[in-house]
Structure 1
Amino acid sequence: MSSLCPFANVHRAGERCPRKIEEKEEKSDSGYGAKKGVVPAKCPFGYDSHTFKLGPLSCVICQALLFESTTCVPCSHKFCKVCISRFNDCPLCGADIQKLEPDADLQSMVDRFIEGHARIKRSQLDKDEIHAGDEKKKVIYEDFSLERGAFLVQHAMRAFRAQNFDSAKARLIICAEDIKEQLDKQGNTAELCSQLGAVLGMLGDCCRATGDSNSAVSYFEESVKFLSKLPSRDLEVSHTLSVSLNKIGDLKYYDADLESARLFYSQSLDVRRSTLKQYPDIKSQALDVAVSLAKVADIDRNLGNEKAAIEGFEEAIKCLESLNLDPVEVSLEQRRKSVLEFLGSQLPEQPGLLPTLST
């Protein structure tokens, strides 16, 4: 699963929510970022903080909201079921774990929290009003710093990194349902289609990680469906679309359906070539094209079309050799050398192994 938030454009982040804040609000006496005439509601658990602190409903192992809340006996510390099942001793106090017991009441509280806090509608204002003197103030019942989608996606990414895939999937399904609800109301806007395409791709990653390839393909195909509705000039959309196509190709390849795999790899290559043509100065695009060329060439070799395979590998090498990188672009240069080494090994004999290539 990519750490890229589908609710921000071309922005990567670590632990903090990658949601872009388009306008910086000035501090006022009524609180951080409070607008005149509006009183922002504050979450008692700290989830409206820009620092995104862990709250009492979080699992300290995966650092996401609890999923299948489980109590350790005898110390009574609580974690996600999947997270704590990997330990013999409590990670918090070191006590021997004699047994694990589900905590339905705590999980119910977490679920209610998600429903009441994380799923507040976009820019929704409560009909009630607070009167302060002669001034009317509307209360916004929503997370102050995180939109519900970004909130859920961040928890899903944390759970995914901790290999708590069921937790990640559960949060992403809620997020996808919310976006589909908005699509029904607003139509296929670029923002919503982009968000849904990315979330569906993450769901595909969750299914792929658990070995459910059929569901993974379905999610990736649905992701492609929504992303294909958007203008191709959007760099991040094009990248996410090409990655989803490649992942479908990978799954077809592993199922030995080489013809289908080549079809999806070729579609991804077309998207990346078009993007490179529109953004020739973005050097990472050339690397993406080279990887796609190698994937298609590898399929051609496995299908017995050696001539086409050699041509594809050679084109990919030329693409990378013509790429001039600055000395400061260390990570990009490392990736370029890695792909070049792989491509060179394919000329003239050794069959390629797709898993060695980054999507």
Structure 2
Amino acid sequence: MKPVCPFVKAARPDDNTCKKSSENSVKHQVEPDNKLKKEVNDSASTSPKCPFGYDSQTFKIGPLSCMVCQALLFDSSKCVPCSHIFCKACISRFSDCPLCGADIAKIEPDAELQGVVDRFIEGHARIKRTASSGKQEEETESKPVIYEDVSLERGSFLVQQAMRAFRAQNLESAKSRLSICAEDIRGQLGKVGNTSELCSQLGAVLGMLGDCCRAMGDASSAVAYFEESVEFLSKLPKDDLEIAHTLSVSLNKIGDLKYYDGNLQAARSYYFQSLNVRRDVIKHTSNVPAQALDVAVSLAKVADADRNLGDEKLATDGFQEAIDLLESLALNSEASSLEQRRQSVLEFLRGQLSDKQEHAESTI
């Protein structure tokens, strides 16, 4: 099942609306009072929009972006002598400037520009106009601008930047953006309590932070983030497919880290918890092939742990149950990617049983 961003995209004014607002600001000096009143009220209800074009729905590269990772600059560094600026982690991989091709004599930090980027991040999506009160004395005055954390919009923006950086292996940048996002959500939780929406968001962001730490080789921090993700997601109803999927994935990732650390009993425990979450889902959504595939993967993980723990019969039963499940799964012609995944998992499972049979025959 393809995971989706947990942040709901806020409705935004289209280009025509923005153009109209700009034209209206010029006309304010020459048009009659009644027209002015209408325009002020319209302006008061307009959604905030980033002046640099960093909008959560456009996914564009803005003037403060690194041209290598395409995310906001992190640890801004300048190439000498060409003066082009990139993230330090990005430009450190090159001997020639990616933009102009000039030899890089050295790389210098640009603290001033990084300060601009950091202030931009701090202020992004925080400007929100007050709603019109309808009072006559206020209608002829400019509406005051208040600063308020629009958490969904800001969260979407930060996750967007983090995902870009992560894909480009700029892991410190991704971790930094996600950490800011997590702190924003924690602040909201402190104000309004553990709502399903906020717990879901925080659970997903903590899982992404775990991915960053795992990619950086920091297994202990990765486990801590995944466990906290599980803590928040476990508070939510499991009938939401995305929540259940994210929860089961976090449990499996903890299991993987325990497995590679040699703690097979702990690994099996987490794999089994993930399996139970996925089995509960498939009871209510048995017609969703992706859920059946998830169950088969969990069965394979549990069975693999059982084999390494010395319980061959339990492992064989688990592998066979997963094979039976996938062989009974009917996919339509449009689900080509799922069919490829089904065949891949089936090949692995059959290989596990085949290896066991070959081993038994060789010992006879």
Which TM-score tier does this pair reach, normalised by the shorter chain? 0.7 to 0.9
Aligned to 1:104: 111
Aligned residues: 334
Asked if 2 retains the 8 angstrom alpha-carbon contact of 1:48 and 1:145, the reply is: no
Aligned to 1:165: 171
- Distance in 2 (CA, whole Å) between partners of 1:146 and 1:64 is 19
Residue 140 (structure 1) shift? 6.9
Aligned to 1:79: 86
Aligned to 2:195: 189
- Distance in 1 (CA, whole Å) between partners of 2:13 and 2:283 is 35
Asked if 1 retains the 8 angstrom alpha-carbon contact of 2:275 and 2:295, the reply is: yes
**Normalising by structure 1, what TM-score?**
0.86
Quick check: 1:299 aligned with 2:290? no
Inter-CA distance 25–112: structure 2 relative to 1 (3 Å threshold): closer
Quick check: 1:198 aligned with 2:204? yes
Inter-CA distance 42–290: structure 2 relative to 1 (3 Å threshold): closer
1:298-341 deviations in Å (ceiling 9; x for gaps): 00000110000000000000100010000111000000000000
Residue 144 (structure 1) shift? 9.7
State the identity %.
66
Compare 132-141 and 148-157 and name the one that shifted more. 132-141
Residue 349 (structure 1) shift? 2.5
Quick check: 1:313 aligned with 2:304? no
1:262-312 deviations in Å (ceiling 9; x for gaps): 000000000000011111111100000000000000000001100000000
> Which segments of structure 1 move beyond 6 Å, counting only runs of 4 or more?
23-26, 142-146
Asked if 2 retains the 8 angstrom alpha-carbon contact of 1:310 and 1:348, the reply is: no
Aligned to 1:116: 123
Correspondence for 1:266 among 269, 272, 275? 272
Aligned to 1:53: 60
Aligned to 1:237: 243
- Distance in 1 (CA, whole Å) between partners of 2:202 and 2:354 is 42
- Distance in 2 (CA, whole Å) between partners of 1:231 and 1:53 is 35
- Distance in 2 (CA, whole Å) between partners of 1:20 and 1:328 is 31
Asked if 1 retains the 8 angstrom alpha-carbon contact of 2:45 and 2:129, the reply is: no
- Distance in 2 (CA, whole Å) between partners of 1:57 and 1:142 is 23
Residue 196 (structure 1) shift? 0.1
Structure 2 gaps of 5+ residues are 24-38, 358-364
Pick the structure with greater CA Rg: 2
Quick check: 1:153 aligned with 2:153? no
Aligned to 2:355: 349
Correspondence for 2:341 among 320, 323, 335? 335
Aligned to 1:14: none
- Distance in 1 (CA, whole Å) between partners of 2:150 and 2:202 is 22
Quick check: 1:5 aligned with 2:12? no
SS in 1 for 2:79: strand
Residue 42 (structure 1) shift? 4.0
Asked if 2 retains the 8 angstrom alpha-carbon contact of 1:126 and 1:141, the reply is: no
Letter in 2 for 1:248: I
Structure 1 gaps of 5+ residues are 9-18, 352-359
- Distance in 2 (CA, whole Å) between partners of 1:253 and 1:289 is 19
Residue 30 (structure 1) shift? 2.7
Higher helix share: 2
- Distance in 1 (CA, whole Å) between partners of 2:15 and 2:111 is 42
Residue 50 (structure 1) shift? 3.9
Correspondence for 1:30 among 12, 21, 42? 21
- Distance in 2 (CA, whole Å) between partners of 1:101 and 1:193 is 41
Counterparts in 2 of 1:269-288, with a 5 A limit? 269-288=275-294
1:151-194 deviations in Å (ceiling 9; x for gaps): 00000000000000000000000000000000010000000000
SS in 2 for 1:349: helix
Inter-CA distance 344–30: structure 2 relative to 1 (3 Å threshold): same
- Distance in 2 (CA, whole Å) between partners of 1:237 and 1:31 is 42
- Distance in 2 (CA, whole Å) between partners of 1:69 and 1:84 is 10
- Distance in 1 (CA, whole Å) between partners of 2:315 and 2:5 is 36
Letter in 2 for 1:232: K
